[in-house]
Amino acid sequence: MTTSDFHLTGAYAPVHDELTAFDLPVTGALPPELTGWYLRNGPNPRGDSKHWFTGDGMVHGVRLERGRAAWYRNRWVRTESFDDPDLKLYNEDGTRNLHSSVANTHVVNHAGRTLALVESSLPYEITTDLETVGVYDFGGELADAMTAHPKICPATGELHFFGYGSITAPHVGYYRADAAGKLVVRQPIDVPGLTMMHDFGLTAEHVVFYDLPVVFDRASVGRGMPYRWDTGYGARLGVLRRDRPEAGVRWLEIEPCYVFHTLNAFDTPDGRIVVHVMRYDHQWWAGHEDPPASLWRWTIDLAAGTVTEDRLDDRPGEFPRIDDRLTGSDARFGHVTGHDVLRRYDLHAGTATEHVFAPGRVPGEAVFVPAERGEGWLLTYVHDAAEERSDLVVLDAGNLAAAPVATVHLPQRVPAGFHGNWLPDA
């Protein structure tokens, strides 16, 4: 990713109208049990934007009801800084103003609240109709930024997340909210510098942090992403026990690299930890071409104090997702998005299948939705360059190469964006 203006043109260009459209046309047949909301967040700058990551957040949503596409909506997340452009990023004492936010990266639901996230601020609560409720700080208990990639433990219902970005140490904090949404764990994490820590790993017994050599660059503030590659920083994985977070983190060195996104992590019966990630050789290294990400496996042996690093595929991809009900366990299948393809990895067999889209049709992140019978579906927004429009495409995850199960035709283009979720009816 670069700081060029690619994010203001083509499939990335913002849309200017907030629309509501009902009874959307559908090609194929929507499975009746798909009743809920598909929400996806992404940058949609209203004006000047120096980087794809910094545009104002806009959520695009489709409501499905028992075989029909009931509506489409798109709304900006109206944060305090959206409504007040003069709201500063930093307070007078130099601390981050956590209410100043673009809220453009993810949408998650926990304990009855739907949260729009960006890692530099507090969450903003929205409704399933995409109206902004306001900043959410866990009842005044959270005074830190919140990662855009929190993880819900399927066994406990707990929400695990971290915050980073403090100019002063500790730069990172680990947090846990119980199934009811009450913040119950706050644990500082010591790292030697302020790095861009975008995601992490969660297993049944451990939390895995990535301390990687993309470091804060104060000179770049206001000119794009304020981070750069630091060849001298090193790279480490940090392991925290879920049952004893106060015991601190154990760090293990790895080869320098960068990771935006985790596919999954789990504990093995023999006491190791396996983490699947989309790994870049480096990121934002001046004078070096930015490489694509590909699927890698880290195997952490705490007894030996080592990490084994294995590249599982050389094909590029990003936005990895699993069946979220299997977070932290040995999930067999993982799904990754390429330029014109969705790829389904069988992590046990070491194989992959693909759905290749027609020329000019580009998918976004694909969210897995389980079925009552059979495997489940993948939902993704697909941009059609020739038609300058977008569709919500539903694919059979167990027969990925087949034609789409259904295609919902949207009333406008959905710009290329980041992450979202399926929110089923309760």
From the annotation, which residues make up the binding site?
149, 198, 261, 419
Q: Which two tokens stand for residue 10?
A: 């083509």
How far from the centroid of its chain's Cα atoms is residue 87's Cα? 26
Total residues belonging to the chain? 426
CB contact set of 58 (below 8 Å; sequence gap of 6+)? 14, 15, 41, 42, 43, 44, 74, 75, 76, 77, 104, 415, 417
Q: Which two tokens stand for residue 419?
A: 């992450």
d(CA 27, CA 48) in angstroms, rounded, equals: 38
Taking the CA atoms of the chain, what radius of gyration do you get in angstroms?
20
d(CA 417, CA 55) in angstroms, rounded, equals: 10
User: How buried is 303 (Cβ within 10 angstroms: 0-12 exposed, 13-18 middle, 19+ buried)?
Assistant: exposed
Q: Which residues are annotated as a binding site for Fe cation?
A: 149, 198, 261, 419
User: How buried is 140 (Cβ within 10 angstroms: 0-12 exposed, 13-18 middle, 19+ buried)?
Assistant: exposed
CB of 98 within 8 A of CB of 80?
no
